[in-house]
Amino acid sequence: MSNKPLPPLEDLLPRARAGDAAAQNELFEMCRAYVRFLARSHVEGWIQAKVDASDLVQQTLMEAHRGFDRFQGTTEAEWLAWLKQILKNNALDFVRQFGAAKRQAHREVEFNIGQSTMFRRAPEPASPDETPSQIVSRREQEIVVANALAQLSEDHQEVIVLRNLQRMPFDEIATRMGRTRPATQMLWMRAMKKLQEHVNTLSQIE
């Protein structure tokens, strides 16, 4: 995904539903990074050794393509909810396939980017000066943020996924990433700053 403004997803939905193959391809390509980060939130941790997030992404997008004619929504929120449900069902299938405990099968990590989970201020350390309203501007932007995340370095992606999606404490993230806690906190703040820069660029509607 290039670092340029993204077209409103709701402009693509009616064209895709009307049978425009190019619009449908663009719609799914725009959502690929979103589904990938959503998948990472489901396979992170205990199931990671057995399930690769790319498998979950591939299965979800394949089913969404195959069942696209059953999608009846018209808004971005409805579209993302539909994708989330497909991925959630597939994630639970993977869990059952590998015989995980019942309590693990019902463990959910939401990918509510924007005004809730993703950019909720963490209690430690104080986040940079950006606020949810500054990062999430004129329209729902889960897709925008996911594509902005995809443009970050691997370290920046990982620290944001672990802190903002997985809600891990900094001590645990530091151990996992092989860094000191202060270095991890600094990495996270720099990653959030870079993320905001990319979000601002991708959010500009020509």
Query: Residue ranges per domain, the chain?
Result: 8-110, 112-206
| Token pair recorded at residue 87 | 């991925």
The verdict on domain 112-206 having CATH code 3.30.70.990 is: no
pTM, two decimal places = 0.68
CATH of 8-110, one of 3.75.10.10, 3.50.50.60, 1.10.600.10, 1.10.1740.10: 1.10.1740.10
Q: What is the pLDDT of residue 169?
A: 93
* Gap between the Cα atoms of 54 and 39, Å rounded: 8
Q: What's the pLDDT at 177? A: 94
What is the pLDDT at residue 115? 35
Residue 127: DSSP 8-state: -
Residue 183 Cα distances to 120, 162, 173, 187, angstroms: 21, 15, 11, 6
Which pLDDT does position 186 carry in this prediction? 96
Domains 8-110 and 112-206 share a fold: no
DSSP string, 83-117: HHHHHHHHHHHHHHHTT--HHHHT-------STTT
pLDDT along the chain (206 residues), means of 10: 66 89 90 86 56 80 92 88 89 70 43 40 41 40 85 92 85 94 96 89 65
Output helix, strand, coil percentages for the chain, rounded to the nearest 5. 65, 0, 35
Return the structure tokens found at 127. Answer: 């986040």
Which of 90, 109, 103, 88 shows the shortest CA–CA distance to 44?
A: 109
Cα separation, 17 vs 68, in Å, equals 8
Residue-wise pLDDT for 71-91, tens only, equals: 988 888 899 899 989 988 888
Computed on alpha carbons and rounded to an integer, the radius of gyration of the chain in Å comes to: 17
